[in-house]
Chains A and B, each alone.
With several copies, the nearest count.
Chain A
Amino acid sequence: MKLADKSCALEEAVSRIGVGATVMLSGFGVPGTPFALIRELVRQGPKNLTIIKNDANEKGMGVDHLLAAGMVKKLIVTHIGLNARAMAMMNAGDIEVEFCAQGMLAERVRAGGAGLMGFVTDIGLGTELAEGKTRVELGGREGVLESALRADVALIHAARADTFGNLCYAAAARNFSPLMAMAADRVVAEAEVVVAPGGIVPEEVHTPGPFVDHVVPLGALGEEYGVVRRA
């Protein structure tokens, strides 16, 4: 046996994202955001997207390009405070925004990736986050039902990949990547370095290859991937 080669060109990997698709984007701030895949998505331009991501990035970066291009119908996020455009579009009613507690977003995505329908938690009880959610009693305690999230496509940034799709993430760039890489019908990973199978030690794989459909090798990294100097 050998393992399949899933190497794919940038344009083709992104080409099957249609109008109205639900797209998960990895990343927490800059680390882990698949900037190259997002730029290609902007170039191809499908509208009415539902974007699931921790945050909306900052001005001129990542998700902000999708917002600027008018491609976003809805954001499912935990925090958009660093993107004034997202805040303004939300307040103007140009986009819908669904906020999740950060660990709840992580778990909802993971539940989708784990083939579960949802989970029961006490997080948010007594606050407006629990409003409108189904109450469930379990083991004598009250909780709310949180539903699983899945996407048509997940766009993931990896530090290293092999051509079968085994992925490794660097430092805090891991964040939502292993979760989203399980939770979409089509998973596209851009990788800074792509090696042949065997180039990653099996114990050190963060996302196993069977979850990944396409591996896109990145050339030189664009400016967006660098250190952000806010001062």
Chain B
Amino acid sequence: MSDVRDRMVARAAREIARGMVVNLGIGLPTRVIDHLAADFPVCLHTENGLSGIGPTLPYEQADRNLIDAGGAYVSTIPGSAFFDSAVSFALVRSGRLDLTMLGAFEVAQNGDLANWKIPGKFSPGAGGGIELAQKARRVVVLTTHVDRKGNPKLLEQCSLPLTATACVNRVFTDMAVVDVAEGRFHLREIAEGLSVADVVKATGAGLIVPEGELPRF
């Protein structure tokens, strides 16, 4: 993982407050685990039926029945619990999930999220993402600021099918930390070595930039 992505993930980890119940999506979000201290009180949830995820295990030590929703072999910690898929999403939908971190294809300035389908190209099904995005108390996105072709992922409007409407609270990218509030993107922090102009240029919607020096990550 590149240095800036590692800093971005480390920064995102600070989003997690003591005592939260948190679901980390497949990909970059899962790597947030590496930045949580062993004695930090947090309950990680995975939608296939486990609260209290412990460290990921190498194949040699893996329990064949103990995976997370991304298929990684994980472990338990003291106080872990297993449950069925209905209970797992009851937890999500009834407001017991304090925070979810998700990937994104596109985020719109009103908080719309598209991260599950590219019509004609990629339609594997949404899995549990719909409910995580719609119902977690706080939704943050971890993503590159632009796609592989250099096109911005933060947009005025999403062009792809939505995962959920007006759900994203904050976006962590390899360039910036951006809040979504009152229908606009707000620049909060900026990666080391970049200028505000770099971020503005890479963003496909208006970006409200506060006065003064921005925190760096």
Contact = CB atoms under 8 A, between A and B. Distances in A.
A207 to B, nearest CB: 8
A156 to B, nearest CB: 12
Given A101-B126, A127-B163, A202-B80, A113 B90 contact: yes
A210 B53 CA distance: 13
B87 A208 contact: yes
Contact of A211 (B44, B71, B96, B128): B96
A81 interface: yes
B73 A227 contact: yes
A211 B91 contact: yes
A209 B131 contact: no
Interface in B128-142: 128-131, 134-135
A171 B79 contact: no
A180 to B, nearest CB: 10
Contact of B81 (A78, A112, A183, A209): A209
Interface string A163-201: 110100111111111110011010000000000111110
Interface in B50-83: 50-54, 59, 62-69, 71, 73, 76-83
A191 B54 CA distance: 26
B21 interface: yes
A103 B49 CA distance: 11
Interface residues of A, number: 83
Contact of A3 (B78, B126, B128): B78
B4 interface: no
Nearest to B48: A28
Contact of B82 (A2, A54, A174, A185): A174
Contacts of A205: 81-83
B91 A210 contact: yes
Given A196-B78, A203-B82, A127 B130 contact: yes
Contacts of A103: 47, 85-86, 88-90, 92-93, 128, 130-131
Contacts, number: 243
Interface stretch (B35-43, B180-188, B189-197): B35-43
Contacts of A77: 125
Contact of B67 (A31, A54, A185, A211): A31
Contacts of B85: 28, 54, 102-103, 105-106, 175-176, 179
Nearest to A231: B59
Interface residues of B, number: 72
Contacts of A31: 48, 64-67
B72 to A, nearest CB: 9
B2 interface: no
A17 B157 CA distance: 44
B94 A182 contact: yes
A124 interface: yes
A123 interface: yes
A30 to B, nearest CB: 7
22 contacts: A2-B78, A3-B77, A4-B18, A4-B43, A30-B67, A82-B71, A99-B126, A103-B88, A103-B89, A106-B86, A106-B89, A115-B135, A127-B130, A128-B161, A162-B79, A171-B50, A172-B49, A174-B49, A174-B83, A182-B96, A208-B51, A208-B87
